[in-house]
Structure 1
Amino acid sequence: MLTIASIKFNGTIPPTFVEECHLSNLNLNGNQLEGSLSPSILNCRGLEVLDLGNNKINDTFPHWLGSLPQLQVLVLKSNQMHGSLHEHSSKSNPCFSKIQIFDLSSNYFSGPLPVRYIESFKAIIDYKKNGTTKSYMGVDDKYFNSGFYTYSIGIVIKGQDVELVKIFTMWMIIDLSNNMFEGGIPKVIGKLSLLKGLNLSHNNLNGGIPTSIGNLTSLEWLDLSSNRLSGTIPNRLTDLAFLTSLNVSENQLHGQIPQGKQFNTFGNDSYEGNKGLCGFPVSKGCNIIEPPPPNVLEKDGSKSNIAFGWKVVLIGYGCGVVFGMAMGYVVFQIGKPKWLVMNLVENQHEKRRRRKSKNGNHRNGQRKI
């Protein structure tokens, strides 16, 4: 075991590791180391933990580390590493078959997520189904349920930086956050049934959230925030009984948020930044037709009175039109009944006689004065 962590050493990583190297843990975290990692580290065939996080390493991904047969923890976070993992994933065979913690966060990696590496994480896939060893991180099967290992690393758990003084043998974590990965989340990630934590936040991932994530029945925290994911949140995620932390904020998701079980415990901050999401716990409801806004004048009742008056006018107008049409039909289609015509003529003559009588009386009165 070699631990030279947080001492602020600068310079380069040792270019040569001697043959028959017996290191099981190499921890150089928190220094100012630069340069690249020498392939001579493959001489350390028993290496289980490699922690080079929080340095200034400027290099592409060291794909050849996948051939270390006992490597279980790889931490390269917070460096200046770059390039595509997809380009190199076919060059290492076998690759990372015993890996349990794979932390490449806060670098400049780009391209699609490394599907072949994910398929090769046999220790995170149910070992009973794959026939792999039952020994994890130096702990035999008889201590499997309660074993700790003496190694310590710093990782992000549920959005918080945590220093694990002793690594629990069953920690299975993938952290590829704060990079420039693009493309979709591969469905094959749903095969990692023993995974405890998955962080793919702050990348350029697009497409939908695969329903296969619902197969990760051991998952305790899932962070997919700050990407360009679209579509709906799969209802199958409600089957993740151990999920205590979910963050899908700052994406382009829409539709109803799954309800029930542990989803009832997640707050609004898990979903903020997705304008299309609706349902608990966000304020936007789903499939609700909102009533039109009330008229301002209805506050004092005057608007409702005016509306009522117009209704009466419209009803009367409608009745008048119907009556007129009916009378027109009678007059012009049935034959202009004489009684109706005579009544109209007599009424007109009577009105003229009354007007003449009034006018005559008015003139006589003026002459007498």
Structure 2
Amino acid sequence: MTSSVYQIFNTYYTCRLMTTFKGSFSQNLLTTPMDQFSRNYQLYYLDISFNSNIGGISWSICNESLLQSLSLSHNKLTGIIPRCLSNLSSLQVLDLQMNKFYGTLPCTFSKKSLLGTLNFNGNQFEGLLPKSASNCTDLEFLNLGNNQIEDTFPPWLQTLPYLEILVLQANKLHGPIPSLKTKHPFRSLVSFYISSNKFIGPIPKAYIQNFEAMKNVVQDEVGNSLQEYMETPIMNATYTDSVTVTMKAISMTLNKIPTNFVSIDLSGNKFEGEIPNVIGELHALRGLNLSHNRLSGPIPQSMGNLTNLESLDLSSNILIGRIPTELTDLNFLEVLNLSHNHLVGEIPQGKQFNTFFNDSYEGNLGLCGVQLSMKCNNGREQHSPSSPTLWREEKFGFGWKPVARGYGCGMVFGGGMGCCGLLIGKPQWLVRRVGGQLNKKVKKKTRMRTHENCSRMN
């Protein structure tokens, strides 16, 4: 199909004499600049995704007062987004992901907005997150990932009652996660992706406690598996929600997110402190990634309650203690990564743990078990290295007590051998050296005694 979008629209309008139009031209390799959209009829929705369209978005698109869905994703579009797009009162879906748009995000979202899907993933947007987006109270899907947005975590996200998917990954967001200021925030959230930013401070325990939708296990109504969702493209432009996630050690794109796909990704930040125990209340979780942070303390035993978990990544932190045996109850766990921590003790065995190999545990000097080359010594109690000194002792395999014992034994053995040498007269150089010193001492004492006796006689 080589005709331009402009030609197609005009041919369709001339032949059918219609005053409204619903069009989908996705995956047709169209190469028409967007500024050629000048028509005399109204659009309800427009989908020209997965093509090679170039240019920018014409401001004339803002005249489409009946436009409900606009999907221009996966093209080569560039330029600044017309600010008027955020004022279209009928617009419910705005999908501009995977293009080359730049500048700041629209900041004039109307209080009458009906937006349910807003996807700007994979562009070059910068600046702050628009506070006016809090007016989009119907928003269910928000993806601003893989841009250059530099801001703190926006508190206004707490005010979106129907938000299900939140993607802010791979930006320049920084600072601590703010405290909650609203009642029942994020109660509908099922996917929370804020990885590869510069967030600091503890993991927001209060947020996790309010993730009500993640606590309830929901079965997929149509029975489709995750693989089926990944392979089947969504052609219906009325709700084009997709997201790229890292799960089961693989980065993948979900064209349509299943209702039972529940996951959290906080990796690649600077979160510190212990993992909250309340995370074990999120029974619907399928994927949990807390890797590449500064988390410390033990792995919570409550994670054994995440019976639907398929992927768990806690690698590259400072976690200590033993691996909880409760994790063996995770019957659906397919990927486990606990590498590069300070874990110790014997690795649990049984069920899914029998399927994990050495790379799941490497970089933990105190771990032992059949999965590793280091076998466990049941008679020796193992402890987590609580200080740099103890950590060095764990690293080299011995501490100050064995050294003291060796030093004492060496002194006793050396003294005994010296006495034996003097008694048998060998080696002669030692006898002469020691004997000479003894003779000098004896002669000195004899002279002193003789001098004392002479003094008394006088």
Residue 191 of structure 1 contacts residue 216 of structure 1 at CA under 8 Å; is this kept in 2? yes
Equivalent residue in structure 2 for 1:163, among 234, 253, 262: 253
Determine the structure 2 residue equivalent to 1:191: 281
Pairing 1:62–2:154 present: yes
Kindly provide the CA deviation profile for residues 133-169 of structure 1, in whole angstroms up to 9, marking residues without a partner as x.
x7xxxxxx99365597752111111121101111111
Letter in 2 for 1:212: S
Check 1:271–1:64 CA distance in 2 against 1; reply closer, same or farther (3 A cut).
same
What CA deviation, in whole Å up to 9, does each residue of 1:224-253 have, x standing for no partner? 000000000000000001001000000000
Using the alignment, how far apart are the partners of 2:159 and 2:123 within structure 1? Answer: 26
Distance 1:259 1:193 in 2: 23
* Aligned counterpart in structure 2 of residue 123 of structure 1, from 213, 216, 232: 213
* Aligned match of 2:130: 38
Give the C-alpha shift of residue 93 in structure 1: 2.9
> Over alpha carbons, which structure has the higher Rg?
1
Q: What does 1:317-336 correspond to in 2, within 5 Å?
A: none
So what's the TM-score if we normalise by structure 1? 0.72
- Root-mean-square deviation (CA), in Å? 1.8
Tell me the equivalent position of 1:181: 271
Match status 1:208 vs 2:298 = yes
Q: Decide whether the 8 Å contact of 1:60 with 1:82 is kept in 2.
A: yes
The 3-state SS of whatever aligns with 1:194 is: coil
Q: Which residue is 2:321 aligned to?
A: 231
Deviation per CA, 1:245-300, whole angstroms, max 9, x where unpaired?
0000000000000001000000100000001000021110011689xxxxxxxxxx
CA shift at 1:91, angstroms? 2.1
Residue correspondences, number: 276
**Which of residues 139, 163, 167 in structure 2 aligns to 1:71?**
163
Residue deviations 1:32-54, cap 9 Å, x none?
11111122112211111000000
Instruction: Give yes or no for the alignment of 1:143 onto 2:190.
Output: no
| Cα displacement string for residues 86-131 of structure 1 (whole angstroms, at most 9, x for unaligned residues) | xx2222333111000000000000000000100000000126xxxx
RCO higher in structure (CA 8 A, sep ≥6): 1
What does residue 430 of structure 2 align with?
A: none
Does the 8 Å contact 1:31/1:55 carry over to 2? yes
Q: Is residue 246–residue 270 contact of structure 1 (8 Å, CA) maintained in 2? A: yes
142 and 53 in structure 1: CA distance in 2 versus 1, 3 angstrom threshold: closer
Instruction: Calculate the TM-score normalised by the size of structure 2.
Output: 0.58
Secondary structure of the residue that 2:304 maps to in structure 1?
helix
Amino acid at match of 2:150: N
Task: Quote how far apart the aligned CAs of 1:16 are.
Answer: 1.2
Q: Which residue of 2 is the match for residue 80 of structure 1?
A: 172
Structure 1: where are the runs of 5+ without partners?
128-133, 135-140, 291-369
Letter in 1 for 2:119: N
CA distance in 2, matches of 1:183, 1:142: 35
Residue 352 of structure 2 corresponds to residue 262 of structure 1: yes
* Corresponding residue SS for 1:253: strand
Counterpart check, 1:28 vs 2:120: yes
1:107 to 172, 197, 210: 197
Cα distance change of structure 1 residues 116 and 144 upon mapping to structure 2, 3 Å threshold: farther
Say if 1:283 and 1:2 are closer, same or farther in 2 by CA, change over 3 A.
Answer: same
Verify: 1:52 aligned to 2:144, yes or no: yes
Instruction: Identify the residue that residue 179 of structure 2 maps to in structure 1.
Output: 89
Shift of 1:182: 0.2
Structure 1 residue 271 and structure 2 residue 365: aligned? no
Q: SS where residue 102 of structure 1 aligns?
A: strand
The separation in 2 between residues aligned to 1:219 and 1:288, in whole angstroms, is 31
